[in-house]
Amino acid sequence: GVVNKYEINGLQAWIITHVLWFANAYYFHCFSPTIIFDNWIPLLWCANMLGYAVSTFAMIKGYFFPTNTKDCKFTGNFFYDYMMGIEFNPRIGKWFDFKLFFNGRPGIVAWTLINLSYAAKQQELYGQVTNSMILVNVLQGIYVLDFFWNEAWYLKTIDICHDHFGWYLGWGDCVWLPYLYTLQGLYLVYHPVQLCTANAIGILMLGLIGYYVFRMTNHQKDLFRRTNGNCKIWGKKPEYIECSYVSVDGTKYYSKLMTSGFWGWARHFNYTGDLMGSLAYCLTCGFEHILPYFYIVYMTILLTHRCIRDEHRCFSKYGKDWKRYTAAVPYRLIPGIF
């Protein structure tokens, strides 16, 4: 279908938002830094109204004035179309792209603001910010900043390349992401945890190693693609399997699937790093309640499902070449186990 150009300015948007936040909360005193926590339920109502309004508008737009009619998908099932979306790349004007904006602006920018508000509430209630709350802010802040620093890479993910825009992304980005991804900070406001030094260092190391694995695995794939395999991974030329596929118009293409570096360990080792970081967020809360661990359970289900979805597409695309690849790299997420 149509290949769009994108305005990559997420990092600037994140920086401007946070500068304005700190200026208004701590310098001009226009509002308290605890404002998000203090209005958690009213904001939840607002987020839901926005999520459903955007999803409904996207549905109506897909029927009556789509950006590109050839990229629309109608299944005949109203509820499925509403949930999963009709338009592939709904836009208003040249630059306002629904998928990139809602995936990469309100929810994920709010993620770090919400955590800062939780930290401020801890300071207000207890006179200090616990090391567990600091760890949550630092580790999740690194993840968010990585997203914006590498925003161009995000354009190559399943969300942008394959998913249509409906309730799944519209409501999910407005409500699910900012409210469910910040459960650790919310829990720590009500149940502050001061970790011993050894546990704090261990959790920090797990989070940082997980981030390193996540970032370097994606970097290896990006470098391999950009150079068409003419690069070095871990000091030597990467190994790969030559594959071919045929497009809808009958044209035959060739590509390479890397089988060395982190990609020789598992077929989705970037997800493994992501899960290590997710577990670190949850461990900051101790073991008194299961609620903070919802995130690692959810991420495990989400990323395992993504593995299956991605591999189903790859098998359809590459056929027997994909079987050769899975024989060379037999594990999905955890080498020697799964």
**Mean pLDDT value across residues 238-260:** 92
Q: Are 110 and 194 in contact (CB under 8 A)?
A: no
Q: Per the confidence metrics, is the pTM higher than 0.75?
A: yes
> Mind listing the pLDDT tens digit for each residue in 175-202?
999 999 999 999 999 999 999 999 999 9
Residue carrying structure tokens 């990467």 = 238
> Mind listing the pLDDT tens digit for each residue in 291-335?
999 999 999 999 999 999 999 999 999 999 999 999 999 999 999
Q: 286-309: string of b/e by CB count within 10 Å (b at 16+)? A: beeeeebbebbeebeeebbeebee
Query: What are the DSSP calls for 149-164, one per residue?
Result: HTHHHHTTSHHHHT--
Neighbours of 137 (CB within 10 A): 19
Does position 147 have pLDDT exceeding 80, yes or no? yes
Instruction: Provide the mean pLDDT of the chain.
Output: 95
Q: 118-135: string of b/e by CB count within 10 Å (b at 16+)? A: bbbbbeeeeeebbbbbbb
Q: Are 325 and 245 in contact (CB under 8 A)?
A: no
Q: What angle do CA 276, 267, 209 make, to 5 degrees?
A: 25
pLDDT for residue 244: 92
pLDDT for residue 249: 83
Nearest to 114 by CA among 165, 157, 177, 59: 177
**Mean pLDDT value across residues 87-112:** 94
d(CA 215, CA 32): 35
pLDDT for residue 210: 98
> Mind listing the pLDDT tens digit for each residue in 43-71?
999 999 999 999 999 999 999 999 999 88
pLDDT for residue 1: 63
Q: Are 90 and 165 in contact (CB under 8 A)?
A: yes
Query: For residue 245, what is the DSSP state?
Result: E
List the single range of 30-39, 66-75, 130-139 with lowest mean pLDDT: 66-75
**Mean pLDDT value across residues 27-44:** 97
Q: Count the alpha carbons within 13 Å of 55 in the hemisphere toward its beta carbon.
A: 24
pLDDT for residue 269: 96
Residues 6+ apart with CB under 8 A from 248: none
Beta bridge partners of 92: 96
